[in-house]
Amino acid sequence: MKDIEATIHSLLRLAPHARVLRHTPGNIRLQISMTGLGLLNMQEIKSLGDKLEGILSITPRLLSRSVDIEYDPDRLPYDFWESLITAGSNPQEREHVMESIRGILA
């Protein structure tokens, strides 16, 4: 359970510092702010893929401060990503997203 909680907190810490550049079911590209890179480096972001079932690959692009995430849309629904990014700027959404992540990781 400790690993699940650490993954949830990493995702929620990163969320306010990310914005969606492109999103189609199964693939999302996020732009990470400089402050976001200060919180989690690209290697830590990449390692989230090992902890979150349904992520097929994470390709960090340091120069553009972006991350391409290929995922299984049957495992991680399209709306999951949108609500995760929204939760970064909307504390009321955080609990809903946390429960969603717990359900995916359980």
Would you state the pLDDT for residue 1? 43
State the Cα–Cα distance between residues 93 and 98, nearest whole angstrom: 9
Per residue of the chain (106 residues), what is the pLDDT tens digit?
447 777 777 888 888 889 999 999 999 999 988 888 777 777 777 787 787 888 899 888 888 989 899 999 998 889 888 888 888 777 777 788 778 777 776 6
- Who contacts 45 (Cβ-Cβ below 8 Å, separation ≥6)? 14, 32, 58, 60, 67
- Who contacts 106 (Cβ-Cβ below 8 Å, separation ≥6)? 4
State the Cα–Cα distance between residues 24 and 5, nearest whole angstrom: 27
Q: Find out if CATH 3.20.20 is the number for domain 2-105.
A: no
State the Cα–Cα distance between residues 21 and 65, nearest whole angstrom: 11
State the Cα–Cα distance between residues 102 and 1, nearest whole angstrom: 9
Would you state the pLDDT for residue 39? 73
Residue type, 96: H
- Who contacts 3 (Cβ-Cβ below 8 Å, separation ≥6)? 51
